[in-house]
Structure 1
Amino acid sequence: MSGFINSTHFVWTEPSSYLATLKQTTTIQPLFNIFLTVPFGIYLRYFFKTSFKQTLLLSFTLSLFFELTQLSGLYGIYPRPYRLFDVDDLLLNTSGGLLGFYLQPLVTFFLPTRESLDQATYARGQKVGYFRRLLALVVDYCILGVITFIIALIWRLLKLPAIHSEILQYCLATGVYFLIIPILWRGKTLGKALLQLQIVADHHPRWAIFWRQLLLFFIVIPSFQLWRVTLDAAVASGQQHFDVYLFIIGLSLLPPLLFTGNFLLSWVTKRPQLFYEKLTHTRVISSIHPTQQP
């Protein structure tokens, strides 16, 4: 305290010195070191319901992380430290966390409780929309791409026949990932597990999941590529049998158009069950379960 008074313009008996003192670096730096971790202390007690000792330990650990980061030059990114290890900062940051602990009831008085937040989150998690399903599908296809690459690499190393190898590799990778894994894993793939989704069936779940996945990944999705393949064949043939190819292109466009129409209708009516799910009596549900409240 004496060091603070001697290094600032602060005089108890002169209120005019208060504002000047607040503007000085020797005042601003300690205050900001305290305010830096006040939200951390509030958050720990509000969301995780930590005790005083737990808040003290976690605030000290966070402050120690700051100081070690500065001392190590961001853990070796820089050749030397850009700041010194300051014990005062360590104490001030820890004090800020404890101050936040005591301020939490006042600050969060008008905020919803942790229990109500959990209930609202669970209610939202039970709703399975198309965006969530599409995101799971994107994750699955990223993983499938890695699996396909591995299969293609093994295919080449074993010097297997290259005739229709792409089709065989697709069938092998897709069959393993989208047929076998969901059957063995109770309607889940890695993407669905990550997004907490699950395929369920009304009757004979394994067979129903098998037929659902077979319709989707071996008929519906490939149909979006069929018209392009037919168009390439028509261009390559020139004028020969052009009318026949044109008819086949029209037929190949029919499944994607029907699927798109079915999707739009389902999206507008807010009934996220597409035709291949209705045929197989399956649906996608949320696998999120209510957690036990602390």
Structure 2
Amino acid sequence: MGEQIILAFIAIAIGIDASILLFVPFVAVSYRRRGGLSLGRSLLWFAALVYFWAIWTYTLLPLPDPDSIRCVGMITDPLEVVRDLQKAFSEPGNPLRHPALLQLVLNVLLFVPLGVFLRVLGARGIVTALAVGLGLSLLIETTQLTGVWGLYPCAYRFFDVGDLMTNTTGSVLGSIFALVVPRAKRGMAPRADADQPRPVTRGRRAIAMVCDALAYGFVMYGSSIVTQLWFEYVVRDRAVVLDGRIAETVGIAAASGLWLAVVLITGRSVGDLAVQLRFAGARMPVPIARLLRWAAGIGGIGALPLLGDAFDGVSSLLILVSVVLLFTTRLGRGLPGLASGQELVDARADAATRRRV
């Protein structure tokens, strides 16, 4: 039981990491196809990510020591499932606690969520659930049969035709159970009113700030890692790699420079673009207003450490001020709105106005 709990935590941890990596594109797609971000639907997608990794952790982990594995073969008789059931009900004791029956039930239950996700999130029916369930199960069984595709000299878990049958059954049952979800709630098809303006709220602005922070961090750390790899394997300057300051400077400059370009060209940050927000009503030339918004946003605040170590504290303080202003300024326009003297509006408002004209 302890091992199963550990595997569950591993799947959740990987699912959280994957959610963080995919958060910005998920938000952008949701605002364009669904008009906004739904908590329930977001949680369902997160559950699907965790489930995807749980499938692999439960079927492949823990990886055994190569020196201690016991090679196994294949179970190709589909009637072995029937014999396991007969054994569970013919042997003394409670059949509901028999290992063979428990294994069969767990194999079915493991794939039930797959059918649910395919119908609710993908609007796919029983035939797709059967095909995907069989295909995924076959991939797992083949991975086991090949010793994780050659990682081990032989299979350390059985390739079992019975597992293909029970897993596929679970996927089909999940698709049937998901019929209780209203048809209008299923699938990823764009909503008819997805391009209509929505109210600007502090919550929406907070999501934009989270998107900015995540995307800025990805660019910064990604650029830093690439720089470190360059000095490690191309320049071969170990001292520079251990010092790390050049990589840090490159990462900050790359992220802040990208944000400057995006804000100057589009008038919005990455987060604003994701949630379909923009600033309007400038009382100054537009380029200056955009430059001020960049300086008061994550791009400018994040670039302050480039001026010297003394500015690290200033940068941290301004980040705290930005969070406070999210809750104290009108519609959460925050520091960028105060610096440029502008207000937040839905970016789709202009398009809606043009369609009416």
**Structure 1's 77 and 200: CA in aligned 2 closer, same or farther, altered over 3 A?**
farther
Which residue of structure 2 aligns with residue 277 of structure 1? 337
1:94 to 168, 171, 179: 168
1:228-260 CA-partner distances (Å, limit 9, x unpaired): 749xxxxxxxxxxxxxxxxxxxxx98x997996
Which residue of structure 1 aligns with residue 268 of structure 2? 187
CA contact (8 A) 1:151 1:173 kept: no
Q: Does 1:70 align with 2:144?
A: yes
2:280 maps to amino acid:
A
CA contact (8 A) 1:188 1:197 kept: no
Q: Does 1:56 align with 2:135?
A: no
**Structure 1's 212 and 132: CA in aligned 2 closer, same or farther, altered over 3 A?**
closer
Which residue of structure 2 aligns with residue 212 of structure 1? 293
Question: 1:8 is paired with a residue of what secondary structure?
Answer: helix
Q: Percent identity?
A: 19
Which structure 2 residue ranges, 5 or more long, are not aligned? 1-78, 236-245, 350-357
Whole-Å separation in 2 of the counterparts to 1:143 and 1:5? 54
CA contact (8 A) 1:45 1:51 kept: yes
Which residue of structure 2 aligns with residue 128 of structure 1? 204
Whole-Å separation in 2 of the counterparts to 1:259 and 1:66? 46
1:30 to 81, 91, 104: 104
Q: CA deviation at 1:57?
A: 0.8
Q: CA deviation at 1:29?
A: 2.7
Q: CA deviation at 1:79?
A: 3.5
Which residue of structure 2 aligns with residue 104 of structure 1? 178
Q: CA deviation at 1:103?
A: 2.9
Cα RMSD of the aligned pairs, angstroms, is: 5.2
1:140 maps to amino acid:
Y
Q: CA deviation at 1:287?
A: 7.2
Larger Rg: 1
CA contact (8 A) 1:67 1:85 kept: yes
Question: 2:148 is paired with a residue of what secondary structure?
Answer: helix
**Structure 1's 151 and 200: CA in aligned 2 closer, same or farther, altered over 3 A?**
farther
Q: Could you state the TM-score of these two structures normalised by the residue count of structure 1?
A: 0.57
How many residue pairs match? The answer is 244
Q: CA deviation at 1:19?
A: 6.5
Whole-Å separation in 1 of the counterparts to 2:299 and 2:100? 70
| Greater Cα shift, 274-283 or 211-220 | 211-220
Q: Could you state the TM-score of these two structures normalised by the residue count of structure 2?
A: 0.49
Question: 1:83 is paired with a residue of what secondary structure?
Answer: coil
Whole-Å separation in 2 of the counterparts to 1:105 and 1:170? 49
Q: Does 1:44 align with 2:44?
A: no
1:143 maps to amino acid:
V
Q: CA deviation at 1:214?
A: 3.7
2:337 maps to amino acid:
E
